[in-house]
Amino acid sequence: MFDQAVSGQAPRRSTPGSSAEPWTLHPDRALPADPVLRPLARDIYAETRDLPIVAMHGHVDAALLADDEPFADPASLLVVPDHYLVRMLVSQGVPHDALGVPRRDGGPVETDPRAIWRTFAAHWSLFRGTPTRYWMEHVLVEVFGLTERPSADSADRLFDELSARLAEDAFRPRALFERFGIEVLSTTDAADASLADHARLAADGWGERVVPTFRPDAVFHVDRPTWLDDIARLEARAGVSVGGYRDLVTAVEARRAAFVAAGARASDHGHLSADTTPLSDAEADRIVVAALRGQATPADAAAFSAHMLFETARMASEDGLVMQLHPGVLRDHDASVHAVRGPDVGYDIPVPTDYVHGLRPLLEAFGHHPGLRMVLFTVDEDTFSRELAPIAGVYPAVRLGAPWWFLDTPDGMRRFREAVTDTAGFANTTGFVDDTRAYCSIPARHDLARRIDAGYLARLVAEHRLDLDEALETAVDLAYRLPQQSYARP
């Protein structure tokens, strides 16, 4: 009776996976259920539904678009690289091997894409109520035109349909880029990245549309097991021999300049802590020299990573790269899984984060600097109203990034707007970022964010806190103009 009461449509009853009637998505999905708010939300969402996508924080590989080759199969495109999807299946006892997640030692895992797809489809019910369900529904129905839900029974039919689509030129990466309405896509690239794929894209006229983002975490964290190897690659790429702290800064600055020349608009920093306490040059040098000898302590590593965030703000104020900071995630929570599988297989867990004290040194030094733009993200939503909104609501250099990672859910995005708007308003936020490796889910994620913002703005209109024309203008700001402005070219 729910849809009948809200939209006037008769309820639809079907068996999951049944082909008795086509699988379709409700046009009002994720809009408010309240019959007063829903028509307002429809009008507001209609204003943003077809706007171009400005995707300034993601993890799509530039080679995907530079090569523009057909996708291999449904499983390697939609299942294996999606850590949201993988972690849910693993939590219910499905082993990584069955999902084709590679092992570091090259040991055997499932390589038959049809078998992997069958495993996913048979467990479709696990995703009920999750954002993964919303995104995947959008991908399967809106992008690929499927008319049947995933299930054990439908798995092979869907696999065959998807495989046929992927063989068509219309489903190659660049064709989908155009169809998705992406205006600009930012990748995330290590400090030692060659940027060769971006150069190929630029040669094809795509240099303004796919841009790199500078990610120096590997050389900022001196306790990483691979730090010496990462420094060696940085030296080779920057043409700088790193014998101490000042050499490291010179090499980092050289790579930032190369990224700016390649069209980069931002840097990206994933630290456990938001600490930005600076060190003296002498102390920073002591730590780097100790690390080069393999003698840096955990305390050294924490102090140096904090110092390098402070230094990054100084560099950003000079070269104009937007500084994105997303602390508060304990990476690779299960060391044994990391040893076997490596990173990014679903074992990164949020921890409480202190932004007020951690960022104070950086903000006292650069928070009013006209050359700095700093975007703060969090997975600790307790900080939305207590810390982040007040910080963004007073420091000109700071903007709030969108709810991210564990919080890019319908309810998480609603809570974000409700928590931060009182203090930070809308103008001190940056619009949505999709933060995904799952290429085909980009339009799904932006669509969901636009629907949630439409619902929030509809409530303000219904409560006579905004006029409808203001809500329509604000919706366009959140979906399009704010991300453009927040990540404007240096």
Digit-coded pLDDT (tens) for 52-107: 999 999 999 999 999 999 999 999 999 998 888 999 999 999 999 999 999 999 99
For 396-462, the DSSP string reads TTEEEPPP-GGG-SHHHHHHHHHHHHHHHTTTTB-------S-GGGHHHHHHHHHHHHHHHHHHHHH
Q: What is the rounded CA–CA span in Å between residue 211 and residue 187?
A: 6
Q: What is the rounded CA–CA span in Å between residue 151 and residue 147?
A: 13
Angle at 373 between CA 372 and CA 377, to 5 degrees: 135
Q: What tens digit of pLDDT does each residue of 3-18 get?
A: 333 333 433 444 444 4
Q: What is the rounded CA–CA span in Å between residue 487 and residue 465?
A: 29
pLDDT < 50: residue spans in the chain: 1-18
Phi, psi of 277 (to 5 degrees): -65, 125
Q: What's the confidence (pLDDT) of residue 356? A: 98
| Cβ 371 vs Cβ 337: under 8 Å | no
Q: What's the confidence (pLDDT) of residue 46? A: 98
Query: E strand or H helix at 37, and its extent?
Result: helix 37-48
279: alpha, beta or left? (left if phi > 0; alpha if psi -120 to 50): beta
Q: What's the confidence (pLDDT) of residue 405? A: 86
Q: Which domains are seen in the chain, by residue range?
A: 29-70+172-486 (3.20.20.140), 71-171 (1.10.2020.10)
Q: What's the confidence (pLDDT) of residue 7? A: 37
pTM score over 0.75:
yes
Q: What tens digit of pLDDT does each residue of 224-261 get?
A: 999 999 999 999 999 999 999 999 999 999 999 999 99
Q: What's the confidence (pLDDT) of residue 53? A: 98
| Cβ 277 vs Cβ 307: under 8 Å | yes
3-state secondary structure of 215: strand
